[in-house]
Chains A and B, each alone.
Chain A
Amino acid sequence: DIQMTQSPPSLSASVGDRVTITCRASQSISRYLNWYQQKIGKAPKVLIYGASSLQGGVPSRFSGSGSGTDFTLTISGLQPEDFATYYCQQSFSTPWTFGQGTKVEIE
């Protein structure tokens, strides 16, 4: 199985900050990398698919980049509603696997 490693596991940031979360795959996954946001008590919600495609309805302050083994999720101008846990997920080869999550907390 492909292992996905996110960093950092958690971070503290302020409203308005630019936040970057990294996801690394244990082998090349081309651009088959997806990002999710999960708020407490809620189901995950897809933000980015195919490494950089923004899901409909997701604010443009979210962006994704990368290919191969290294990927980044960037939030440009953190908003109060963005405090949540973010997961990456590879869909290059089955079984699809997730990173362990990055919790974004209020500083």
Chain B
Amino acid sequence: EVQLVESGGGLVQPGGSLRLSCAASGFIVSGTYMSWVRQAPGKGLEVVSVFYAGTSTWYADSVKGRFTISRHNSKNTLYLQMNSLRPDDSAVYYCTRDHSDGWFDPWGQGTLVTVSS
């Protein structure tokens, strides 16, 4: 079964750091595009970072320089290192596979990040 399971969210103070993990099963993370998409409470969906099938990456302007996407091939896991967190980074973070035509499936269950003092 193709599945993604995120972990690592939680409550953190402004300026703090968190690392999100996304464990994949049923497919190889390194062989496909993988994305992190976030959803602030009551808001819409925003792509924040993409790891392309090679080594190139992309970041939304809102997180560039603060977030780093990476993967561990032998663990078949995607990560999102989030530093210098701000209250407006508070959201549910989903990892998802990006198909060749740019549609997302599957999605993980999401992990909630709350940035607050």
- Which residues of A are in contact with B by a Cβ distance under 8 Å? 32, 34, 36, 42-46, 49-50, 55, 87, 89-92, 94-101
Contacts and interface: CB of A to CB of B under 8 A. Distances in A.
B47 A95 contact: yes
A91 B44 contact: no
Contacts of A44: 45, 94, 104, 107
Interface of B: 35, 44-47, 50, 58, 60, 94, 96, 98-99, 101-105, 107-110
B94 A98 contact: no
A43 B103 contact: no
Contact of A43 (B35, B47, B98, B108): B108
A97 B104 CA distance: 12
Given A32-B102, A98-B44, A101-B44, A43 B58 contact: no
A20 B84 CA distance: 42
